[in-house]
Amino acid sequence: MHESFGDVCLAMKQYWGYESFRPLQREAMECVLAGRDSMVVLPTGGGKSLCFQAPAVAMPGMAVVVSPLISLMKDQVDQLQASGVPAACIHSGMTAAERMATHRGVREGSLHLLYVAPERIVKTEFIEYLHNANVSFFVVDEAHCISQWGHDFRPEYRALRVLREAFPEAAFHAYTATATPPVREDVARELGLRTPEVLVGSFDRPNLLYRAERRTDGMAQVLQILTTHQNDSCIVYCISRRRVEEVCARLREAGYAALPYHAGLDDSTRKNNQEAFIRDEARIIVATVAFGMGIDKPDVRCVIHAEMPKSIEHYQQESGRAGRDGLDAECWILYSGSDFRLWQSILEKSDNAAAVETARKKLDNIFNFCTRGACRHRTLLAYFGEGYLKDSCGACDFCLDEKAFREDSSAITDTILRCVASIGSFAGPSYTTSVLVGDMGERVTNKGHHHLDTHGTLKQHGAQVVRDWIEQLVAQGVLRKEGQYNILSVAHRLENASARLAEVERPHASKRKGPIKSQAEAGYDIGLFDALRALRRELAESKSVPPYVIFGDATLRDMARRKPVTPEQFIQTPGVGEHKQRVFGKPFLAAIREYCGLPPGDKAPSNSKKKRAFTAEQARLFSQGGGIDEYSEMMHEPPSRVLGMLLEYIETTGATEPAIWVNSAVAERILDAAQEAGPNARTLRILLAGEASEADIRICVACLKNRATVLDH
Ligand code: ADP
Ligand code: ZN
């Protein structure tokens, strides 16, 4: 093996325009280069494809990638070709001419990547065909499909083991976003991986902002959320086909370009609607769970569950379709007890008792997730067995303090607990609520519960609110809910004093704060971004590819921030490789120059020399922890330079929140000190000797300067 890691870095820069790695990408690429079997488990949007694509380009020969769906294969090949990488796929839907072109590429050895469906690759004649080609290594994408334990078992994947036998010399690499250990082991065994390097990344998706809210007026809530995503691609999930049609019709009435997607539509309508969404012609898709497999749209900015899904697994997968490109995206659940009961009644129709029990647990878990007073990132990770290291995620409704907690939480909790205790363990949340709000119906009076001292004590809050508090106490472990009828009892797991009850009223949109890290992406010119987006769509249409194949949102935002006006500046944009520069450089540069009021051409205006700053992608990676030293090692840049680039980034973007890059406790300490002593690095250094590093202080001071500028205006 003669290729060095440097060749891979070169390929990444040349074809993809990337200069930094996402977590574990580097390690995964090293395995490919070394010809060592590997199993790489990274979440959606973790950047799995690049891990094998970049080495495939740097190494001689052709990598063969097994992928389960034609749509996924085509999408990948479209993207590779747009970047100038010789790649092709073989599938049943090809024309004779396309097939011939691909075979020629294989024969002449000009292809670096070949995508093939599993049912084809295991045929004797195809194996023979590959034996005559110069195969560099094999990749099994969506490798969990081979496991019966996985959520997406595909029998045709089972046959893949013959590949290993047919190519004993070649390295095999399995890629998946499914993390459970039994599935992982099963995949390795079934594929016959040989002492594979197993790389498992964190499943946290820091760019996703999670929010959950009880559904009061579902349609009004959906519309309200969508007002903050005027130009974005959004998915709205509903439980039933009927709801999909209803919600979609209401959105269209409200003027949104929304289309439905569910299994009740005929094939061609489904296909057209999906295609329209992918091509940004329809901004919103309203769908059942049937939607999502086989689409890799990277720029979905918001996923709304208008109704509660039936498990956290489903929620994770569906909400995970937001923000694959790493830019901020928002995930909402609008839940209600009636969703819970609906799922429950569906469950009860099954006669497999064990399956019902498991499904019930999953249902409880997702309902707890909705109502629980805890960080949602932490809760999701904990569910999948991963710990969360940060105190606050800065990207969920709880950590952002949007769920106001009531000052009288403990008094109310006390009342509810007394009521539950005096009713005795026989009633569920809805009966208990009627007692607390003073219901005088027969159901209550027959039992004499109108004489309880807690009867009617929470009347002024209304039944819905009281009901919600009860669910919150269940989620916090103060109350227990058991059996088929959800009988309540007091669990005493928490001191009452520490129970917190969130306000049930919906916070006004204006009260909602943005996630603090969105500033890592702020500072771009929205007008220019929109202009570039329009240009991208036009070009995509003329080439019949999805717009993101031309450039992703992250790339356009970076252009809208740095405003490159010469080819030299343009190629510095992450996501712009040499091929794309050649093909798309001219129109994009022209658009930027026009927007900036510069004459056509490619000359730099005088005095445009700027210091080098982080790109948004780099700033984002940096914010994921590790600090200057670790990052500088990763970047192969000296720490002082990394700090300089970050400071330059803060200055150009006007970021005001240091906690993105500095441990939040340390940042708070520095900001406190600066409040007293002023934002002067030298004074702070003396004041905080030993408590904060030089870098931390300078980052905070830079952010404080921006705050002052904001105030000046
Ligand atoms: P996955 O297959 O793991 O869901 P993808 O391979 O689709 O993720 O990558 C998600 C997005 O991140 C893509 O838009 C890709 O171009 C981008 N990306 C991947 N690696 C990098 C990197 N090192 N620098 C910048 N962007 C990257
Ligand atoms: Zn949180």
The answer, yes or no, to whether residue 187 has pLDDT greater than 60, is yes
Residue nearest to atom 15 of ligand 1 (CA): 47
Quick: pLDDT tens for 435-479. 999 999 998 999 999 999 999 999 998 888 898 888 778 766 688
pLDDT (mean) for 51-63: 97
Q: Which one-letter amino acid corresponds to residue 677?
A: A
Among all ligands shown, which has an atom nearest to the Cα of 396?
Answer: 2
292 burial class (0-12, 13-18, 19+ CB within 10 angstroms)? Answer: buried
Q: How high does pLDDT run on average in the chain? A: 88
d(CA 570, CA 408): 57
pLDDT score of 493: 55
CA of 326 to the centre of ligand 1 (A): 8
Which among 615, 613, 617, 556 has a CA at the least distance from the CA of 584?
556
Looking from the CA of residue 617, the nearest atom of ligand 1 is 25
Q: Taking CB atoms and a 6 Å cutoff, what residues make up the pocket around ligand 1?
A: 18, 20-22, 25, 42, 44-50, 296, 298, 324-326, 552, 574, 617
Residue nearest to atom 19 of ligand 1 (CA): 47
281 compared with 486, residue with greater pLDDT:
281
128 CB contacts (<8 Å, ≥6 apart)? Answer: none
CA of 265 to the centre of ligand 2 (A): 38
Among all ligands shown, which has an atom nearest to the Cα of 75?
Answer: 1
pLDDT score of 531: 94
Among all ligands shown, which has an atom nearest to the Cα of 382?
Answer: 2
CA of 370 to the centre of ligand 2 (A): 13
Residue nearest to atom 5 of ligand 1 (CA): 47
pLDDT score of 609: 46
Q: Report how far apart, in Å, the C-alpha atoms of 319 and of each of 153, 330, 643, 656, 662 are.
A: 21, 9, 34, 29, 28
pLDDT score of 471: 78
- Please, which pLDDT band fits residue 576 given cuts at 50, 70 and 90? very high
Confidence (pTM): 0.75
Looking from the CA of residue 22, the nearest atom of ligand 1 is 23
Lowest mean pLDDT among 102-116, 311-325, 373-387: 373-387
pLDDT score of 676: 82
Order of strands across the sheet that contains 300-305:
208-214, 329-335, 300-305, 233-237, 284-287, 258-261
Quick: pLDDT tens for 416-430. 999 999 998 789 998
Quick: pLDDT tens for 525-540. 888 999 999 999 999 9
CA of 184 to the centre of ligand 1 (A): 22
The answer, yes or no, to whether residue 494 has pLDDT greater than 70, is no
pLDDT score of 606: 64
Quick: pLDDT tens for 375-389. 899 889 988 888 888
Looking from the CA of residue 324, the nearest atom of ligand 1 is 10
pLDDT (mean) for 496-500: 61
pLDDT (mean) for 61-75: 93
d(CA 233, CA 216): 25
CA of 655 to the centre of ligand 1 (A): 25
d(CA 577, CA 165): 38
